[in-house]
Chains A and B, each alone.
Chain A
Amino acid sequence: MPTIHTDPPTLYAERSDWADVTPQAQYENVNPLAPIFYTEEYKDATDYFRAIVKSGEMSERVLELTENIIRQNPAHYTAWQYRYKTLLTIKAPLDVELRLMDELAVKHLKTYQVWHHRRLLLTETRKPVPELAFIARSLKADEKNYHTWSYRQWLLAYFNDDELWDGELEFVERMLKGDIRNNSAWHHRFFIVFQSGTRKGDEDRDEVVRRELAYVKQSISQAPNNASAWNYLRGVLDHSHTPYSTLQLFVQLYTVPHSPGETAVEVIDLENPPPSKDSQLPCPAAIEFLADIYELEGGNGIPKATELWKSLANEHDTIRKKYWEYRIREALQSTGP
């Protein structure tokens, strides 16, 4: 006789395999203000969950219950916490759990818990390499997802093995090629190049700095009004204690409007790639950078810096007028009258 497959009753209250548990209502003797109107399914599942937490039961069916709650509310951190303890206690296969998480993470990219649970699993399974491809897929759904990027950085730093790191620069270059303005990707680049030790092939640090400066200058020349690239440039210089003044020739190209007859560049200066034809100049970030160079120069540099700050305050970056005026005050004060 063919069996007709029917879904089990949706409510735990109707299920015989849960009949031994007495559901526990959320509020007893309190009539709460600002209540949430839960669906019947959510109320039912969490009533049983409270009873389970109280009894301390850790079993296969607790995994089913917590999964049910998490699917309805992935931010239920207590359900996650209890699930994790249950997994370890009953020695559930963690690779199965990880496959379930593949589905949940992409569905609920913005919750802290899906990503942290994954971390906990990885510290147990210790198989980080397949994670890289998973993360890359998740980033396709949301290229600036904070948790996804932090998770990738954690994975690299925590396991810290060469096989993991091998393709990382290539990966981030691909991401930046996709969107040159993706600040998360720029941050990732800084993280992998400068902040977590020295990688194979990167032992010559001066060479690394040269490579990064060339990369970011090229990027600025393609799209000069990109705050992410300018911040990266400053980051590289600050980190390597390279004077800003070494970039003066480069930034000056971006502080003035395009000149009418500039189409034909006679000599291509690889050190100082010029702004692209369609770029919108002058670029306030370049003016700011040049002012910083003048300020550091001191003496006659200060009035020159002040002129630039004034042009930002009154013309090119008026929303930050207060900030530019503050920079002027500070520069004048620190040099004295």
Chain B
Amino acid sequence: MSHLSRSPTDGYPTETSNLQAATESTLIDHIPDTDDTSAATLQKNAHIQFLIRNLVQGFPSKYTSQDASQPWLMFWTVQGFSVLGVALDPTNKQKIIDTVMAWQHPDGGFGGGPGQAAHLLPTYASVCTLAIVGRPGPGGGWDQINREKMYKYFMSLKQPDGSFLVTHHAEVDVRGIYCLIAVAYLLDLLTPELVEGTPSFIASCQTYEGGFSSASQPYYSLSLNPTTPAPTPTQPSVLDSPRPPLGEAHGGYTFCSLASWVMLQPLTPSSEPKPEINYKRLLRWLSNMQGSEVEIGGFKGRTNKLVDGCYSWWVGGSFGLLEAVGVGGHGDPQGLHDDGPASAQDTENWDDVDDSLFNRKALQEYILYAGQHPAGGLRDKPPKTPDAYHTLYCLAGLSSAQHRVLPSPTRRNVLLDAWESTRGMFVTLPRSRDPLDSLRKSVFADALSWSEEEGTSKFVGGNGNRLNGTHPLFNLTMTHTEAIMGHFYKQKVPTRKKAKAGST
């Protein structure tokens, strides 16, 4: 593979370029010879065994560092199964539900383990786990989630600049905001009050590079705005500027910011001052995160850092989110598709079925060649060992590079037509005058309108590598998303046209 050009160092080596060069040397060794087709096989059985071992036998003591992330260990494992097309038996499902419910805090939200304080991150992981294994009714988990207390808990974390603490006495960061909004979407908890000011906060985290940072620092004006009565007389107002991002543009924070931004669209004020993010700069940054051929097209998380399998999801998955707000689009201005869709095996015509803005083929290759550990499980990069986190995000990233899942206006209309006004949690007014009804309706229809574009899936290594599609906003399968949202919004979700490819 010596024909691949290495990253230029301009005769000016530094620690960054030395590390980069060493990584490229390792990665090159993982690019298979052209006649070696087995290297492109997703070792599904080995990965399933890895997940089963974690679930049933548990985690070795080095995972003690994840003791406050037990819901994440569980979510990574069960969502890994979902993406791989493995359904759990009722006995194990029940055990998982019982485990998750031990993490719910009596004052609302879920903690990282029994007796731990509630925290936004494990709350997301717990609710998503319940979306996968839970069900309505006694012992099913869904109806044992205390939504009233969860909403109060969310509100107790809210800051004057529209952000949220991840837990009491802790930091503000956009991961927490993403987790909160995703949970509010799934459980029908979203209100204008909850996320007032949040779009502006997210917008303020965009850095000059185009990606997003972990948080921004608010500055407050000393005098109160006399035209808008503040909820409490002492509440200061946040200045639009300066409001500097803390930390550089980063793949994980960018996904969380962008997904939050997309979910907040029905609530983002259309009046001035309307918060804005610079899509063009964001797209450029996302695009620059894809490593070159010598890095097998994996994604990195920051400028001048190394490729890492988990960014396959955080950065690779962000392209679809950007398309959802109309950037990139899948228009066909030059009639490129006159020949009709190419067949899945026909790699010659790859480009003709690929409307996405990043190199889907190369990303799949990175995960297959470099992301898989020979003994099962997936990883950051060779020669690292696999872990539960990288196993899920490599698989989810691979899935998002295989399938194009985007909001479908047709599907959205079907959902809107089928909507039946129901009482949300906060309603005291008669249904017809419920101001939240239209918000809940559009949240529901927006979330479930995401659909796989027909004839656009592509599987490097053949159809045997097919993974289930996963919802770009939540990282749950469509089936699981529909089931839990249907339950909490009290809607019957209209059936979809059966997808032609079956799951494994």
Interface residues of A (CB under 8 A from B): 24, 26-28, 30-39, 42, 46, 50, 53-54, 72-78, 80-81, 84-85, 112-113, 115-116, 119-120, 143-144, 146, 149-150, 153-154, 157-158, 178-184, 186-187, 190-191, 194-197, 222-228, 231-232, 234-235, 238-239, 276-280, 283, 317-323, 326, 329, 332-333
Contacts and interface: CB of A to CB of B under 8 A. Distances in A.
Contact of A224 (B10, B92, B209, B244): B10
A279 B17 CA distance: 14
Interface in B26-70: 54-56, 58-61, 63-70
Given A116-B170, A225-B7, A146 B247 contact: yes
Interface of B: 7-12, 14-17, 54-56, 58-61, 63-70, 73-74, 77, 92, 95-96, 98-99, 102, 111-117, 119, 167-171, 173, 207-209, 213-215, 217, 219, 242, 244-250, 281, 283, 287-288, 290-293, 297, 302-305, 328, 331, 333-334, 354, 356-359, 362
Contact of A154 (B56, B61, B217, B303): B217
A195 B354 contact: no
A65 to B, nearest CB: 14
Contact of B117 (A46, A78, A227, A333): A78
Contacts of B219: 157
- Which residue, of A34, A180, A196, A228, has the highest number of chain B Cβ atoms within 10 A? A34
28 contacts: A26-B113, A27-B102, A33-B96, A34-B55, A34-B99, A37-B59, A38-B67, A42-B64, A77-B68, A78-B115, A119-B171, A144-B302, A149-B247, A150-B247, A154-B217, A157-B219, A178-B15, A179-B15, A184-B247, A187-B207, A195-B245, A223-B10, A225-B9, A276-B11, A278-B10, A320-B287, A322-B354, A329-B333
Nearest to A234: B208
Given A34-B74, A322-B356, A195 B242 contact: yes
Contacts of A115: 171
B8 A280 contact: yes
Contacts of A77: 68, 112, 116-117, 119, 167, 170
A28 B116 CA distance: 14
Given A77-B112, A153-B217, A323 B99 contact: no
A36 B74 CA distance: 11
Given A37-B59, A191-B244, A81 B16 contact: no
A332 B331 CA distance: 13
Contacts of B70: 34, 36
Given A81-B117, A179-B16, A226-B304, A30 B102 contact: yes
Contact of A75 (B9, B15, B69): B69
A154 B12 contact: no
B287 A323 contact: yes
Given A73-B65, A157-B244, A33 B117 contact: no
A42 B61 CA distance: 10
Contact of B328 (A35, A46, A326): A326
A235 B208 contact: yes
Contacts of B102: 27, 30, 32
B14 A227 contact: no
Contacts of A76: 67-68
A225 B303 contact: no
Contacts of A194: 208
Contacts of B69: 75
A26 B305 contact: no
A187 B247 contact: yes
Nearest to A25: B114
A4 B504 CA distance: 67
Contacts of A54: 115
B74 to A, nearest CB: 5
A163 B326 CA distance: 47
A195 B244 contact: yes
A293 to B, nearest CB: 15
Contacts of B63: 36-37
B357 A84 contact: no
Nearest to A194: B208
A97 to B, nearest CB: 14
- Which residue, of A24, A150, A190, A227, has the highest number of chain B Cβ atoms within 10 A? A150
B170 A32 contact: no
B115 to A, nearest CB: 4
Contact of B169 (A28, A120, A191): A120
B304 A183 contact: yes
A281 to B, nearest CB: 9
Nearest to B334: A329
A308 B54 CA distance: 51
A158 B217 contact: yes
Given A77-B112, A154-B246, A227-B304, 7 more contacts: A81-B169, A178-B15, A181-B14, A190-B208, A195-B242, A224-B10, A320-B358
